[in-house]
Structure 1
Amino acid sequence: LAGITDLAGNAGVGTADSTVRYDIDTVLPSVTITLADSSLTSGETTTVSFSFNEAVNGFDASKIDLSNANGTLGPLIASADGKTWTATFTPSANVADTSNTIGVNMSGVRDQAGNSATGTITSANYTVDTRSDTTAPALIITGDSRPKITGNQLVLSFSDTGNLDADATHTPANSAFTVLVNGVANAVTNVTVGA
């Protein structure tokens, strides 16, 4: 107050401060979008999380960009802290894509101080492969790949038009095959699919 005088000429001394403290928030809101499963196949769904760096207002389903998602999103479920939302993502049928993303349009999404970012923030890429394999494998009966017998093992080769699944949990049961030796049924004791 030095040099400040009232109308009577009295000079002020010292410094006067405000009695109320206030905060200055210059941090813009941001969001991280994650999928619980980033490699989706036919019949699968996954949880998508939208995690903001601070509590926000103005975020709802209309702010979510699914134009490159190859799927749909269920209803948003908000956490109590105003920072995190989750929803169930269902991939579209008959898709094979490795460059999928889910985005959030940040325009109008504001933090408690009123700060708003611009542009769209996207998730990392995730894969969707929901193609149905409707082509039955074809047994090769001619050439070098025709059925072969080595000892007590019968090796059958199939065309690659319908890829066989080498996962042991998907291997056909022994009873799925009938082997006849001179017209007499011979029990199949083990089935494996080569990788």
Structure 2
Amino acid sequence: NVLVNAQEKTVTLTLTRPVTAGQTTTVAYSDSTPGDTSGIQDAANNRLGSFVATTVSVSDTSAPVLITEGVKAPKVNASTLVLSFEDAGNLNAEASHKPASGDF
């Protein structure tokens, strides 16, 4: 799957399987047909040219760490316990990665 985000100036590719820490993969781009209207281009219709295979590796290899001190330490609010983590921007929120209640 290919997703283009014009605001962020990114093209996101969804891989068929995850690349894990320590693994690498390559990405290459071949301009399908110069002169057609498909392919990566900017708002002025300047097209990205082809590029050869470039190695990409997993850069985030650190697990989240529970914050145990300060204002973000675990806290209870009525029947809710809130846990905060360093590197929380990278927590995977997909339902398939939700821990089971018995994990706690």
Letter in 2 for 1:135: S
1:41-120 mapped onto 2 (5 Å cutoff): 41=15, 43=17, 93=24, 101-103=29-31
Shift of 1:159: 0.4
Q: Which structure features the higher share of helix residues? A: 2
Is the Cα contact below 8 Å between 2:31 and 2:39 reproduced in 1?
no
Gaps of 5+ in 2: 3-12, 41-55
Gaps of 5+ in 1: 1-36, 45-91, 105-119, 178-195
How many residues align? The count is 73
Identity of counterpart residues, as a percentage? 37
What residue is the counterpart of 2:34 in the other structure?
A: 121
Q: Name 1:40's counterpart in structure 2.
A: 14
Opposite residue 139 of structure 1, the aligned amino acid is L
RMSD: 3.6
Are 1:137 and 1:160, in contact at CA under 8 Å, matched by a contact in 2? Answer: yes
Alignment of 1:23-38 (within 5 A): 37-38=1-2
The match for 2:62 is 135
Structure 1 partner of 2:95: 168
Partner Cα distance (1:169, 1:130) in 2: 24
- Alignment partner of 2:96: what SS? helix
CA shift in 2, pair 1:154/1:43, >3 Å: same
Q: Does 1:157 align with 2:84?
A: yes
